[in-house]
Amino acid sequence: EVQLVESGGGLVQPGGSLRLSCAASGFAFRDYDMHWVRRPTGKGLEWVSSIGPAGDTYYPGSVKGRFTISRENAKNSFYLQMNSLRAGDTAVYYCAREGKGDYNDAFDIWGQGTMVTISS
Amino acid sequence: SYEMTQPLSVSVALGQTARITCGGNNIGSKDVHWYQQKPGQAPVLVIYRNNNRPSGIPERFSGSNSGNTATLTISRAQAGDEADYYCQVWDSSTQVFGGGTKLTVL
């Protein structure tokens, strides 16, 4: 079964750090672009970062310089290191797979989400 | 950066047709994907590349994209279709979501 499972969410004080993990199974992980997407409470979906098979990374301006995405193909896993966290980063964080071929640029597989709360 | 506009909410009577729009500058030149998200659940891809349904998605879901507007159409709306719906495109090495539309089935 194709599956993504997030872990690492929790409560952190403003200015703190947190590392999220996403474990993949059921597909050739090393061949896919992988993403993090978040949904702040009461708001819509927001793309957070992506990493290609070769390790190329991309971020929106809202997290660039604070968040770092990485991957470990040998462990079928990728990560999101979040630093200098702010209240506005409070959200459910999802990991997602970008499809290939006809599904290129679409997120065809999603994890169940992990909650990150930034509060003092 | 590219922006897309969705109505905050759309209501549809049970069994009727709902249309959710996604507006953007020349969006017709891009591939638009649509997601359904129910409370407490992860998003689900319901339309990819403008008008294609993944396996397992009912034929009642369809999409179109032309000019400055992409549209998700849900025919014969059911109570189980109540959810938030998001459009998404790729633009300049970034992924962009519309603001989302809450669909209510009356």
Averaged in consecutive runs of 10 residues, what is the pLDDT profile of chain A (120 residues)? 97 98 98 98 96 96 97 98 97 97 93 97
Mean pLDDT, chain B, as a whole number?
97
Contact A45 B48 (CB under 8 A): no
> Which residues in chain B have Cβ-Cβ distances shorter than 8 Å to A104?
31
CA nearest to B2 within chain A: A60
> Which residues in chain B have Cβ-Cβ distances shorter than 8 Å to A37?
43, 95, 97
**Which are the contacts of A110, defined by CB distance < 8 A and separation ≥ 6?**
A4, A37, A94, A95, A96, A97, B42, B43, B44
Residues of B with a Cβ under 8 Å from any A Cβ are 1, 31, 33, 35, 37, 42-45, 48-49, 52, 54, 84, 86, 88-90, 93-100
Q: Look at residue B33 in the predicted model and tell me its pLDDT.
A: 98
Give the closest residue to A38 by CA, choosing from B61, B3, B31, B43: B43
Q: Look at residue A99 in the predicted model and tell me its pLDDT.
A: 94
* CB contact at 8 A, B13 and B77: yes
SS3 of residue B28 by DSSP: helix
Given B88, B94, B99, which is nearest A60 (Cβ)? B94
A75: phi then psi, degrees, rounded to nearest 5: -105, 5
* CB contact at 8 A, A105 and B47: no
Q: Is A112 on the interface with B (CB under 8 A)?
A: yes
Give the closest residue to A113 by CA, choosing from B46, B102, B40: B40
Q: Is A31 exposed, middle or buried (0-12, 13-18, 19+ CB in 10 A)?
A: exposed
